[in-house]
Amino acid sequence: MMRLPTLPTHFRKSLKVRLATWLVVTLVILYVVQGLVVGVMMQNVTEEYVVKRLALDSELLMAGIDFDASGKMAFNNDRMPLVYRQPFSGHYYALWTDGQSLASRSLGGQALPVAQNTFIGERTEYINGPLNQHLLAYVRGYDSYGRKFRVAVAQDLSHLQREILDLYIYYIVISIAALVTLMVVQTFIVTRGLRPLDLVRQQLSELEHGEREHLAEEVPTEITPLVREINHLLDALALRLRRLRNATGNLAHALKTPLAVINRSLESADVAPKVRAELLPQVKIIADFIERELKRARLASTHSSKRGFAPNNELPALVQSLKAVYHDKSLVFDMEISGDEVCPLDREDMLELLGNLLDNAAKWARTRVRLAVSSNTELHLTVEDDGVGVADDLVEGLTLRGARADESTLGHGLGLAIVQDIVLNYQGRMRMGHSARLGGFAVNVTIPLRRVMRH
């Protein structure tokens, strides 16, 4: 069984194409069925008209018959239309009774091949006449003058069939013109009818880029439930994110007071100096981590999680903060930013990602840190420094929580692990290794922008 070709995925998913395709299929079927019905009706009407005229000619033929004293049949040909006297004109008649027969001059002496056993009733049949003409014959039996007669009157249908064929050609041309016109009108109607969907698609793009928080609900009734469900989902996701960040802030607040108590206890005279020296740095690490989470929670509470990330606006302030933190190093930060002004990514996630990468680079850099950002269909981030770098066999373990390449430098060892979590959350990729440009450590991050996963 032959299979119909399938449309490409893009066309199969397009409502406009699907509506247009089904309209074309429906109209083609409609026109074909209509053409068949009209053709049959025209053929029947034409044959009915021809048969009625042939029946009238047979009556004229019977009316012109006469018999002489010897019983020989005679007929006045002038009573019949002129076409019956023109040779092979396509109009013929023949009459039989008691061994006698008459035939039209148009037959040219040839016989009319109809059945000769009908003397009662009437019938029509198709026969091949002179010159292989396709004839429709009307055959009828008469009982008149005390005799039985059989009359056959025939007409060539070739001319009528040519006219029907011409009419079919006109019908096909008009049907094609009507189909094209209907397609144009349908395309206009569908385009206007689907315009609200285009507006929803535009709003979804704005939503993705952080330019709006909800979809407008002034849409057709058919898609109102969908828009409302999307808005409900957006509210639920925003509420869940706010609760998670508030929970982080609350946890940090809850731990801050006990740590302060522990810190005061360690500074008392009752604690051995060795214990104090070992525990105070660790307490400070925990306190710094808690302060960082509190700051992140404060930022999350003042900015919408749907706000997009604008590298040109956000990164200069982030770099200035790091310069202030590492002022003793007098670091030089090289920034190269190109591409879209606003990326459809969560601002807080991107600030945390870049904050961890830049903080790690600044911590290990000697004099220089480089940051390169570019975006089109993907966001590309590169952070590298001119420090000592990391051995290849240690790179893979850097994303483990608490892992550090150098235990002699203070830090909680969570930065790269947090970065990896964010990258995976956005279905991105992260690659770490040697910096060919600066000679130290380099991290390359790629995040797709067309299909972003929210929290």
Q: Where are the domains of the chain?
A: 16-162, 218-307, 308-455
Q: How many residues does the chain have?
A: 455
Residues forming beta bridges with residue 44, ordered by sequence position: none
Please tell me the predicted confidence (pLDDT) of residue 406: 44
* Both tokens assigned to 68: 């002489």
Q: Are 417 and 401 in contact (CB under 8 A)?
A: yes
CATH architecture of 308-455: 2-Layer Sandwich (3.30)
pLDDT at 209: 65
**Looking at beta carbons, which pairs linking 98-101 to residues 24 or more positions away fall under 8 Å?**
98/147, 98/148, 100/72, 100/73
User: What pLDDT digit, counting tens, does each position of 97-124 carry?
Assistant: 887 888 888 888 888 888 666 556 788 8
Straight-line distance from the first to the last Cα atom of the chain, in angstroms, rounded to the nearest whole number: 49
Q: Decide: pTM greater than 0.95.
A: no
Q: What is the pLDDT of residue 386?
A: 92
Q: For 15-59, how does the pLDDT look when each residue is reduced to its tens digit (9 = 90+)?
A: 777 777 888 888 888 888 888 888 888 888 888 999 999 999 988
- Cβ atoms 258, 306 nearer than 8 A: no
Distances (CA, A) of 379 to 342, 370, 412, 448: 11, 17, 28, 6
Residues of the chain with pLDDT under 70: 1-13, 115-120, 208-211, 249, 269, 271, 291-307, 340, 395-415, 450-455
Task: Check residue 1 and give its pLDDT.
Answer: 44
> Which 3 state secondary structure label does DSSP give 10?
helix
Cα–Cα distance for residue pair 324/181, rounded to 1 Å: 70
- The domain made up of 16-162 has a fold known as Beta-Lactamase (3.30.450)
Q: Tell me what pLDDT residue 182 has.
A: 85
Q: For position 404, what pLDDT does the model report? A: 45
Question: Could you give the count of Cα atoms lying within 13 Å of 31 in the half-sphere of its Cβ?
Answer: 18
pLDDT of residue 412: 37
Torsion from C-alpha of 282, 283, 289, 294, nearest 10 degrees: 180
* Signed CA dihedral, 269, 270, 275, 279: sign only: negative
DSSP 109: T
φ, ψ (nearest 5 deg) of residue 103: -145, 150
Residues 420, 430: Cα–Cα separation, whole Å:
7
Q: Quick one: residue 109, left, alpha or beta (phi over 0 = left, psi -120 to 50 = alpha)?
A: left
DSSP E strands, 297-440: 332-339, 368-375, 378-385, 429-434
- The confidence score (pLDDT) of residue 368 equals 92
**Phi, psi for 152 (deg, rounded to 5):** -130, 125
CA dist., res. 402 & res. 411, Å (int) = 9
Residue 368: beta bridge partners?
Answer: 332
- 371 beta partners: 335, 383
CA gap 190, 279 in Å, rounded = 72
